[in-house]
Amino acid sequence: STEFVGRVFSLVFPFSLISYEISHNILFILSMDFILLIIVYKSLPRYVIPSYFIRIDVLPITSTGKLDRKALPESNINDIIKKEYVEPDTEMERIICEIYERLFKLEENTVGKYSYFYDLGGNSLNAIKVVRELEKKFKFKVGIKDILKYSVVSNLSEHV
């Protein structure tokens, strides 16, 4: 909790971590993503930083005083990712996007040129799978470190 954020809680999904935050501070609402990212990047290791933040007005509570997960707004990962979608420009970007969509079981045209490997649910195990797919497709060597270091689709595309 900070001066900007009332309460934050996170839910783990198969391929990502999504945080819900409650805030009534108008300045925070206007710059929510930026401020939250600064706060979490300064205080948490990368693997526990949520992929997405969803703002809610009130925390849904059951009659027993526990979080009512069923009353939370739907958090369809495909819908969240689509909002950030920028079409790939190059053939290499398209291929990387297709590999990520298959690997993370996402709808077609949801992973774009600025999609971030970690936000999609990426980790070192997934990076191994991406390396295998790229090597199969192009017959050249790509390292796991490359996938993790060049974690934005466009950056990886330029690197390989």
Please tell me whether residues 60 and 97 are part of one structural domain. no
Domain of 154: which CATH number? Answer: 1.10.1200.10
Say if 2 falls within a structural domain: no
Please give the radius of gyration of the chain, using alpha carbons only, rounded to the nearest integer.
18
Tell me the per-residue pLDDT of 126-145, one tens digit each, with 9 for 90 and over. 899 999 999 998 888 889 99
Same domain, 111 and 47: no
**12 with 53, same domain?**
yes
The pLDDT tens digits of the residues spanning 58-75 come to 778 899 988 888 887 766
Give the mean model confidence (pLDDT) for residues 37-46.
Answer: 73
Angle subtended at Cα 46 by Cα 81 and Cα 80, rounded to the nearest 5 degrees: 10
Q: What is the pLDDT of residues 80-121, one digit of tens each?
A: 666 677 899 999 999 999 999 999 888 899 899 988 888 787
Q: Are residues 71 and 84 in the same domain?
A: no
Domain final position from 59, 75, 91: 75
Domain that holds residue 24: 7-75
Tokens linked to 117:
């490997």
| Residue 120, phi then psi, degrees to nearest 5 | -80, -10
The terminus-to-terminus CA distance of the chain in angstroms comes to: 41
For 112, the 3-state DSSP assignment is: coil
Rounded to two decimals, what is the model's pTM?
0.60
**Residue 155 maps to a domain:** yes
Identify which of 115, 159, 112 has the alpha carbon closest to the alpha carbon of residue 134.
159
CATH code for the domain of 33: 3.30.300.30
